[in-house]
Structure 1
C-alpha cells in the first residue's frame, strides 16, 4: 500500500484534527467540479469554507458529457474549477483549455505520477482515467484538490490541511476494508465482468481479473464479436455473475446473459456497481467512501465472500 501519511501541503503536523471538516469563516470559496467524486473531495477538504457544485450527478457518464449553458454560467462565476483530466471528460477538454485563460482551472488527476497509471490498448497514447477505483490512488487526487483549494485561499491552509489528514485516514480505512472483504472471494471466482473497463485499478489492487464489455471509454462500441467472445469466456470458465453499472445502459450485459443461457450456462447479475458516477444526492453512496464501500461489498458478496450486509460502517442502503 502507498504511504499517504504526508501531505503535499507540508502541514501534516497539525495536532488537533476535527472529527468533521472544521467550521467556516466568512467568504466561502465557490468551487465547481465536474464529477461527483471530485466534488466530494472538495467538500471533504474544504468543509464549510467552500461551496461546491458538481456538474455531473448520479448516473451521468463523464465520457460522453458535454457542458450545458447553465454549466458554462456556473464555471465562469466560480473561484475555482476542478476537472479530472486523463481524457475522462473527453468532450469538454477544448472548453477547459479556453476557460483556463480566464479562470483558475485545475485537472486534478493530471498531477498523478504517471508510473502509477495504467495504459490501455484502446488508447495507446493515453492512460486509464478511472483512478478513483483505488483508494490508494485517489489519495493523490485528494491531495491535489487540497493544493488547489489552498492556492485559491492561502489563509485557510491550516484548516484544509487538518481536513486533508482526516480524510486520508478515511481512505486508509476504506482501502483496508476493501482488502479484508474481498479476501474471502475464492481464487477461482476472482473474475469481474462489467459493462466497460472501469475497474482495472480495482483489479490491480485487489487481485481480480477484470473484463469490460466496452473499453475504458463508454464511447467505444461493444460489437457482436466482443459479445460473442465474452459469452464463450463465461461458458468456458463457468463464470456465474456479471455486474451492471449505474452510468451505463445494461442492454449489452443482458445480451451476455442471454447468450450464455443459449449455450446452457446460467449467469446472474451480481449487482449494480458505481463506475463513473456516485449514488443519489443525499445518500451515503453519494460520498466517495460510500461509493467504494458499496462496490467492495457488492462485488465480494456476489462472488462468494461473507460480507457485512450494510457495508463497512452499517450505512449502505440507509438513504439520507
Structure 2
C-alpha cells in the first residue's frame, strides 16, 4: 500500500525556509559575541585587543593590523604625552590588552615605568626600539632619557616603526602573517611617497627662510630630515620649564634674523609664544603666528589631521604657506 503523502501548508514551508537561511547566516557570520569566525580554519579567533599611548601609534597599528585588531589610544587629540598621567581606567585597559604599543625613548614621561613593568608579563613594545641609535637625536635636556622621542617627524623613522609593529603582530599572531605583511608593504609604500612629497613641498620655501620656530623643540627630526633650522622655546619635553631668559633669547633671535612667522602647537598652550611675539614687537619687529601645528598629538576626527599622513601634510602645508 502506498504511503500517504502529507502536503505541507504554506506556513510550514516558509518556516522551514527561514530555518535553513538562519543556519546559513550563522555559519557565514564573521562576528559572534565579539569573536571573529574564520571559516577557512574552522575555528574562532578573537580580534587582538591593542592599546597604544598616542593617536599616531594607534593609527599605525590599525593600518597594519587591519580587521584583525581593535586599537584604542589612551591619549585623546590635544593631549600632551610628556605630561600625561594614567588613570585607574587607563591602567585597567593596559592590563586587559593583548598587545601594548608605545613610543618609548621616554616620550610618555612618568608612564614609562608602568609600560616597562607591564612588558615583564605581557607584550608591551616601544615602536622606536628598532631605530638605529646612531640616527637618534640627543635628549640630554630631559632627566631619564638619552634620546629625543619625537621620531614620527622623520617619515623614515616612522617606516622603521611600521616594521616593528608588523613583526610584533606576526610573532603574536602568525596565522595572519601574510595579511600583516601585505598591509605593512602597502602602508610603507604610502609613507615613502609622503617622504618624497614633504621634500618637494618644502623646496618651495627660499633656503634663507627655512627656519621653524615652535613652542617646544619637537621638530628636530623634521629639521634634520628636510633641511630646516628648528628652534623651540622649551626643550624636547614640555615638562622642562622655561623662564624669562628663554623668552628673551628666542625674541632676540626672531628680531636679529627677521623671522616673520612662528607656530603654536595643538598640544601646548599658546601663551608662551604670544609672550615672545609681544617682546619682538616691543623691539620693532612684527612676527605673525603662522598657524597651528600638530606635534605630540593628531587632530580631532574630521580635522584633516586625524591620521599620521594627513597630520604630516597639514603641518607641511601650514609651514610652507607661512614661510614661502
Same fold (TM over 0.5): yes
Bigger drift between 66-75 and 192-201 goes to 66-75
1:101 is displaced (CA, Å) by 2.7
Aligned to 2:5: none
Cα RMSD of the aligned pairs, angstroms, is 1.5
Q: Contact between 2:140 and 2:146, CA under 8 Å: does it hold in 1?
A: no
Closer/same/farther in 2, CA of residues 152 and 245 from structure 1, 3 Å limit: same
Aligned residues: 282
1:40 is displaced (CA, Å) by 0.5
User: Within 5 Å, which residues of 2 pair with 1:301-320?
Assistant: 301-304=321-324
Bigger drift between 229-238 and 92-101 goes to 92-101
TM-score by length of 1: 0.85
User: Could you tell me which of 93, 99, 102 is aligned with 1:83?
Assistant: 102
Aligned to 2:270: 250
User: Within 5 Å, which residues of 2 pair with 1:46-125?
Assistant: 46-123=65-142
TM-score by length of 2: 0.84
User: Within 5 Å, which residues of 2 pair with 1:1-320?
Assistant: 25=38, 26-123=45-142, 126-304=146-324
**Which consecutive residues of structure 1, in runs of 5 or more, have no partner in the other structure?**
1-22, 305-320
Cα distance in 1 for partners of 2:230, 2:37 equals 43
1:290 is displaced (CA, Å) by 0.6
Closer/same/farther in 2, CA of residues 129 and 24 from structure 1, 3 Å limit: farther
Cα distance in 1 for partners of 2:192, 2:304 equals 18
Bigger drift between 97-106 and 254-263 goes to 97-106
Q: Contact between 1:24 and 1:48, CA under 8 Å: does it hold in 2?
A: no
Which structure is higher in RCO with an 8 Å CA cutoff and minimum separation 6? 1
Q: Contact between 1:24 and 1:49, CA under 8 Å: does it hold in 2?
A: no
Closer/same/farther in 2, CA of residues 105 and 120 from structure 1, 3 Å limit: closer
SS in 1 for 2:315: helix
Closer/same/farther in 2, CA of residues 88 and 24 from structure 1, 3 Å limit: farther
**Which consecutive residues of structure 2, in runs of 5 or more, have no partner in the other structure?**
1-35, 39-44
SS in 1 for 2:101: strand
1:94 is displaced (CA, Å) by 1.6
1:121 is displaced (CA, Å) by 4.2
Structure 1 runs (4+) greater than 4 angstroms displaced: 23-26
Cα distance in 2 for partners of 1:273, 1:152 equals 36
The answer to which structure has the higher helix fraction is: 2
1:283 is displaced (CA, Å) by 4.5
Structure 1, residues 78-135: CA drift from partner, whole Å, max 9, x if none?
A: 1101111101011112211222233211111122110111114414861011010011
SS in 2 for 1:269: strand
1:235 is displaced (CA, Å) by 0.6
